[in-house]
């Protein structure tokens, strides 16, 4: 419950920051123009982001005949979560990992790497798949799309505010203030990014909890996280890029993070600790 409230509060703060920068740029008219442009920019990301990311990682769709055990586990978990069966993909990567994508439960996909299929036993893999089904059930892909859209729009507005403060002239009564523009350009996008990452970390905790209840075995998911974390650092993922790190169950680019503030995932040790403390009734 706390993480859900935190998500709502952070999305609200992102919205408020967006409105503040829009007003700083050009009052109501500037805000409306920027909002329309930002919506247009993110329309494609909302509708096509799943196809883009699956293609980025060379994911291949598989059916029951090609991967029977994987397919059956996802079908079983989808039924337990009361969501439509997502499409199933396998990524040709040794690095063990998995992610869910799609704008809603009717248009969702679960992708796993070849490495995770080789590394985990059945219970552990079932726990990981339950975590990904939880993301779909909780509509985390939509939440993160909204957060990303707001963060991107804030960066866009901040850039506009900066250049407006430099080249906007001094026709206004108070004149232009380059210092305000510089602060807007630097502080607002940084704050938006940190909020976006914080939302991502909160959603991971929720997916861990929901997934553990779906699978009925939090210790199996904890064991899987421990293995994935260790092996991901030994065998880095080769395709894709860091902008997609929030999708994965464990950040495949974790070695590149400067600090936990800039991490899209909670500390794996903390996730394991919470799962080990769970009691499934």
Residue spans of the domains in the chain: they are: 2-276
Q: How far is CA 88 from CA 73, 83, 112, in A?
A: 11, 14, 8
- 247 vs 197, which has greater pLDDT? 247
pLDDT of the residue at 173? 44
pLDDT of the residue at 195? 74
pLDDT of the residue at 7? 57
Q: What does the DSSP assignment read for 67-135? A: SHHHHHHHHHHHHHHT-PPPEEEEE--SS--EEEE-SSGGG-EEEEEHHHHHHS-HHHHHHHHHHHHHH
Which residue is it, tokens 């123009």? Answer: 33
In the predicted structure, residue 4 carries a pLDDT above the cut 80: no
Which three-class secondary structure state does DSSP give residue 239? coil
pLDDT of the residue at 187? 72
77-130 residue pLDDT tens: 999 999 999 999 999 999 999 999 988 899 999 999 999 999 999 999 999 999
In the predicted structure, residue 245 carries a pLDDT above the cut 80: yes
Lowest mean pLDDT among 17-26, 73-82, 192-201: 17-26
Assess whether 132 carries a catalytic annotation: yes
In the predicted structure, residue 170 carries a pLDDT above the cut 50: no
> Is the dihedral angle over the CA atoms 81, 84, 85, 90 positive or is it negative?
negative
Average pLDDT, the chain: 81
pLDDT of the residue at 260? 58
Give the mean model confidence (pLDDT) for residues 37-60. Answer: 78
pLDDT band at 171 (very low <50, low <70, confident <90, very high): very low
Q: How far is CA 43 from CA 21, 38, 52, 101, in A?
A: 21, 9, 13, 16
Give the mean model confidence (pLDDT) for residues 156-181. Answer: 58
- 18 vs 12: CA distance, rounded Å: 10
Lowest mean pLDDT among 23-37, 153-167, 172-186: 172-186
pLDDT of the residue at 9? 67
Token pair for 200: 């991502």
Which residue is it, tokens 């209840």? Answer: 213
> Is the dihedral angle over the CA atoms 12, 6, 101, 155 positive or is it negative?
positive
In the predicted structure, residue 41 carries a pLDDT above the cut 80: no
Token pair for 157: 């507005």
pLDDT of the residue at 33? 65
- 216 vs 30, which has greater pLDDT? 216
pLDDT of the residue at 44? 66
Measuring CA to CA, which residue among 198, 152, 161 is closest to residue 11?
198
pLDDT of the residue at 200? 82
Pairing of strands 98-101, 60-62: unpaired
pLDDT band at 149 (very low <50, low <70, confident <90, very high): low
Choosing from 93, 124, 132, 229, the catalytic residue is 132
């Amino acid at each position: 419950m706390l993480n859900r409230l935190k998500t709502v509060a952070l999305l609200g703060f992102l919205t408020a920051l967006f409105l503040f920068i829009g007003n700083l740029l050009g009052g109501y008219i500037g805000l409306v123009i920027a909002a329309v442009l930002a919506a247009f920019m993110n329309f494609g990301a909302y509708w096509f982001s799943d196809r883009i990311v699956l293609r980025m990682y060379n994911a291949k769709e598989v059916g029951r005949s090609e991967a029977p055990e994987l397919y059956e586990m996802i079908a079983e978990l989808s039924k337990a979560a009361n969501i439509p069966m997502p499409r199933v993909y396998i990524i040709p990567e040794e690095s063990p990992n998995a992610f869910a994508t799609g704008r809603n439960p009717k248009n969702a996909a679960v992708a796993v790497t070849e490495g995770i299929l080789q590394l985990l036993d059945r219970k552990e893999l079932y726990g990981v798949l339950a975590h990904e089904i939880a993301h779909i059930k909780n509509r985390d892909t939509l939440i993160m799309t909204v957060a990303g859209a707001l963060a991107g729009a804030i960066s866009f507005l901040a850039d506009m505010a900066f250049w407006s403060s430099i080249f906007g002239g001094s026709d206004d009564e108070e004149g232009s203030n380059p210092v305000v523009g510089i602060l807007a350009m630097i502080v607002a996008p940084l704050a938006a990014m940190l909020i976006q990452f914080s939302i991502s970390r909160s959603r991971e905790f929720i997916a861990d909890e929901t997934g553990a209840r779906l699978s009925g075995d939090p210790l199996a998911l904890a064991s899987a996280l421990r293995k994935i974390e260790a092996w991901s650092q030994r065998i880095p993922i080769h395709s894709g890029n860091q902008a997609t790190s929030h999708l994965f169950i464990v950040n495949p680019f974790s070695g590149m993070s400067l600090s936990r503030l800039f991490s899209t995932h909670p500390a794996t040790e903390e996730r394991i600790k919470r799962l080990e403390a769970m009691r499934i009734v």
